């Protein structure tokens, strides 16, 4: 078969890459350029609120260079999980950003958009038909899940990207997308072994992260031939080694070998990683098993409420010795006191750091501790009122052993101590949805933009 190459621009659009690396990639004659743009890594805020993860200027820089590179190479640019959460508004936002760039540069571009927020009625009927399968750790769901504010997305795979590419688009913008699908679509269509295609895609979606000595996000080149694929970082000083590549297949996954996609499962346990030279790695092997049914992963994020917080530090050893019990007493008192300043539903929690706030398991008495009070309310005004009331309760709560005068129980460096953090969200789904045919949960649009 004719060799096929592609460039993975960066692990996360907006995190940057070296322009020179992309230029080298373009010179190698890739069949496409891809970039992942999202993840659930950052928590539910992005999908819930439609906010993008990084700064607009950062996205614009990466997109402009990616578009320019794809245009020079005469190949499509494929971007998955727009905005971070992959909601519809982000797809449209990236379309608008592409249009601005195209106009400024004097380009004319055909953009295919894949929208991945399924119709709520469809989701409801799939739920009723038992076609939503709970994945490990999935929250309990019911009809309210599909009535909630926030957003629910279905994760697109290669079938949806292929449909977008079939329009002859220069740019494909996908809402929520399986990261590997960005890089698997075109090699699959070219006829390369699916096991190798998916294994390569799984590694390439992080850009040059599979390399040994990179100093930041950068671009990666993947080349397919009859004996698997070769990975090469596009910065000549950066090296991929068999160990670095194989180690990277462990990153962020619960199973090192098994990758589940809408149309099948990859088992990469038999793949071999060998050095081509001191900076390039050849990978070959693995097994792809097509599935009987076509399933897409659903992610959902809905509002939790409005959050206000304060934190303060404790240095009194006597208080430090009783801090867990002291916090429990304060929390208990707050459940009553906060009803006096807010009428809506609320949640309150008082955590401590310095002991084991990060993992929450042990009861070490530290030299100094930080207490963090979070209140979630139905409005920002209510949350703020409650946090301020909680501050006062906590600030003067008695310390057992000291008596007979007013005390201040924690230090805080800010005037005012309460921060109103805005809306908070939570993940509401971790389910696979069985589709009768791959496109039924997705919407497609094509736009001509630019000069």
Stretch that binds another protein, among 99-107, 133-141, 150-158, 392-400 (CB under 8 A): 133-141
Q: For residue 129, give the nearest of 316, 367, 293 by alpha carbon.
A: 293
Least gap, CB of 228 to another protein (angstroms): 16
Contact string (CB under 8 A) for another protein, positions 290-309, x = contact: -----------x--x-----
Among 3, 322, 430, 444, binds another protein (CB under 8 A): 430
DSSP class of residue 441 equals: T
Q: Which is nearer to another protein, 376 or 441 (CB)?
A: 376
Q: For residue 209, give the nearest of 359, 25, 8, 384 by alpha carbon.
A: 8
Least gap, CB of 356 to another protein (angstroms): 8
Q: Can you list the positions of beta strands (E) in 126-241?
A: 132-134, 151-154, 171-174, 220-225, 228-233
* CA 142 and chain centroid, separation: 25
**Which tokens sit at 161?**
């990207």
Contact string (CB under 8 A) for another protein, positions 187-226, x = contact: ----------------------------------------
Q: How many CB atoms lie within 10 A of CB 411?
A: 11
Which residues, at least 6 apart from 405, have a Cβ–Cβ distance to it below 8 Å? none
Integer Cα distance of 252 and 268 in angstroms:
16
Q: Which is nearer to another protein, 294 or 425 (CB)?
A: 425
**Which tokens sit at 420?**
């109103």
DSSP class of residue 436 equals: S
Least gap, CB of 254 to another protein (angstroms): 4
Question: Considering Cα of 133, then 135, then 140, then 145, what sign does the dihedral take?
Answer: negative
Among 29, 74, 139, 290, binds another protein (CB under 8 A): 139
Integer Cα distance of 202 and 217 in angstroms:
16
Contact string (CB under 8 A) for another protein, positions 9-48, x = contact: -------------------------------xxxxxx---
Rg (CA), the chain: 25
Least gap, CB of 109 to another protein (angstroms): 34
Least gap, CB of 360 to another protein (angstroms): 6
Q: Which residue has the tokens 């049914």?
A: 293
Sites for another protein among residues 247-276 (CB under 8 A): 247, 250-257, 273
Integer Cα distance of 292 and 147 in angstroms:
31
CA distances in angstroms from 83 to 105, 170, 175, 340, listed in the order given: 23, 20, 8, 40
Strand partners, 225: 228
Sites for another protein among residues 341-380 (CB under 8 A): 347, 349, 351, 356-362, 364, 374, 376
Stretch that binds another protein, among 129-137, 180-188, 316-324, 414-422 (CB under 8 A): 129-137
How many residues touch another protein under the rule CB under 8 A: the total is: 43
Least gap, CB of 345 to another protein (angstroms): 13
Least gap, CB of 76 to another protein (angstroms): 28
Least gap, CB of 347 to another protein (angstroms): 6
Q: Which is nearer to another protein, 391 or 427 (CB)?
A: 427
Least gap, CB of 313 to another protein (angstroms): 17
> Half-sphere exposure (CA, 13 Å, Cβ side) for 281?
27
Q: How many CB atoms lie within 10 A of CB 11?
A: 25
Pairing of strands 77-80, 171-174: parallel
Among 243, 345, 416, 451, binds another protein (CB under 8 A): 243
Least gap, CB of 30 to another protein (angstroms): 29
**Which tokens sit at 352?**
């401590």
Taking every pair of Cα atoms in the chain, the longest distance, rounded to a whole number of angstroms, is: 87
Is residue 136 at the binding interface for another protein, with CB under 8 A as the rule?
Answer: yes
Integer Cα distance of 86 and 80 in angstroms:
8
Is residue 426 at the binding interface for another protein, with CB under 8 A as the rule?
Answer: yes
Q: Which is nearer to another protein, 2 or 358 (CB)?
A: 358
Is residue 405 at the binding interface for another protein, with CB under 8 A as the rule?
Answer: no
Least gap, CB of 403 to another protein (angstroms): 32
Residues making contact with another protein (CB under 8 A) = 40-45, 135-139, 243, 246-247, 250-257, 273, 301, 304, 347, 349, 351, 356-362, 364, 374, 376, 424-427, 430
């Amino acid at each position: 078969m004719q060799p096929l190459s592609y460039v993975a621009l960066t692990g996360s659009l907006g995190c940057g890459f070296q322009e020179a690396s992309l230029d080298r990639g373009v010179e190698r004659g890739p069949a496409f350029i891809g970039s992942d743009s999202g993840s659930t890594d950052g928590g539910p805020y992005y999908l819930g609120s439609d906010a993008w993860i990084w700064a607009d200027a950062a996205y614009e820089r990466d997109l402009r260079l990616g578009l320019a590179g794809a245009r020079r190479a005469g190949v499509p640019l494929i971007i998955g999980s727009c905005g971070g959460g992959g909601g519809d508004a982000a797809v449209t936002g990236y379309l608008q950003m592409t249009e601005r760039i195209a106009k400024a540069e004097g380009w004319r571009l055909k953009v295919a958009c894949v929208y991945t927020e399924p119709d709520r009625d469809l989701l409801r009927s799939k739920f009723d038909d038992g076609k939503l399968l709970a994945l490990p750790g999935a929250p309990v769901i019911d009809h309210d899940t599909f009535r909630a504010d926030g957003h629910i997305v279905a994760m697109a795979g290669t079938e949806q990207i292929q449909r977008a590419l079939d329009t002859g688009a220069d740019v494909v913008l996908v809402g929520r997308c399986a990261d590997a699908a960005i890089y698997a679509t075109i090699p699959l269509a070219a006829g390369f072994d699916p096991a190798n295609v998916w294994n390569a895609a799984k590694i390439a979606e992080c850009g040059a992260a599979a390399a040994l000595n990179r100093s930041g996000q950068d671009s990666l080149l993947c080349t397919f031939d009859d004996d698997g694929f070769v990975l090469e970082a596009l910065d000549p000083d950066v090296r991929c080694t068999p160990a670095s590549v194989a180690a990277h297949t462990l990153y962020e996954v619960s199973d090192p070998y098994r990758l589940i996609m809408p149309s099948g499962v990859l088992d990469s346990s038999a793949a071999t990683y060998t050095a081509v030279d001191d900076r390039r790695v050849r990978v070959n092997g693995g097994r792809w098993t097509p599935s009987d049914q076509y399933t897409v992963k659903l992610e959902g994020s809905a509002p939790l409420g409005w959050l206000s917080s304060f934190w303060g530090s404790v240095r009194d050893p006597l208080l430090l010795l009783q801090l867990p019990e002291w916090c429990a007493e304060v929390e208990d008192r707050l459940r009553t006191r906060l009803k006096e300043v807010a009428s809506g539903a609320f949640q309150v929690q008082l955590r401590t750091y310095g002991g084991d706030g990060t993992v929450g398991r042990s009861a070490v008495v530290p030299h100094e501790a930080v207490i963090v009070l979070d209140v979630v309310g139905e409005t920002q005004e209510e949350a703020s009122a409650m946090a301020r009331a909680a501050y006062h309760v906590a600030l003067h709560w008695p310390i057992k052993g000291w008596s007979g005068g007013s005390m201040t129980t924690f230090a805080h460096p800010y005037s005012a101590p309460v921060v109103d953090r805005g809306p908070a969200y939570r993940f509401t789904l971790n389910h696979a949805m069985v589709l009768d045919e791959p496109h039924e949960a997705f919407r497609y649009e094509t736009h001509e933009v630019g000069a």
